[in-house]
Amino acid sequence: MNYTVRPARSADILGIHRLLEPMVDRRILLGKDLAVLYGATQEFVVAEHDGELIGCGALHVMWEDLGEVRTLLVRDDWLHHGVGRAIVDALEERARVLGLRRLFCLTFEVEFFTRRGFAPIGEQIVDPDVYSQLLRSPDEGVAEFLDLAHVKPNTLGNTRMLKEL
């Protein structure tokens, strides 16, 4: 069962959107408009097998040393084949190239991320100056990282985790 992980192309966005839909329906991930996905094409890597997308994930830079692993998903029939691990490995390599030292994720998959070296975190892990700057971001993922009240309905049941690279 071989597959490849590669940077996403704009032609992959409809496939990423199709992968995302069942997770949105099950309330595991928040839906993303196509315009948002196209705008984030460069953040994504995809896993494919025989020309078909089987998984994806994105790395979003949040601050000088901090990034977020987001929109990580693997098609159900490809779970437990190392696809998620390979996607996270590719995102971590991108993070290192960008000079990031920490990766954040918000997840239901605590065991998976724990095996990848992530650990649950408390409420505030950035200094107050950075926090005040991040408050200005319109990005919902940043609001989730900051654990702001208006995104609490999005984060119920999720665990906030961090990995030092």
49-89 pLDDT, tens digit per residue, is 999 999 999 999 988 999 999 999 999 999 999 999 999 99
Residue with tokens 């078909």: 52
Whole-number Å distance between alpha carbons of 7 and 127: 32
The whole-number average pLDDT for the span 96-102 is 97
Contact call for residues 91 and 117 (beta carbons, < 8 A): no
According to DSSP, the residues that pair with 74 across neighbouring strands are: 55
| pLDDT of amino acid 21 | 95
Alpha helix segments (H runs only) across 27-97 = 34-39, 83-97
pTM for the full model?
0.87
The answer, yes or no, to whether residue 20 has pLDDT greater than 80, is yes
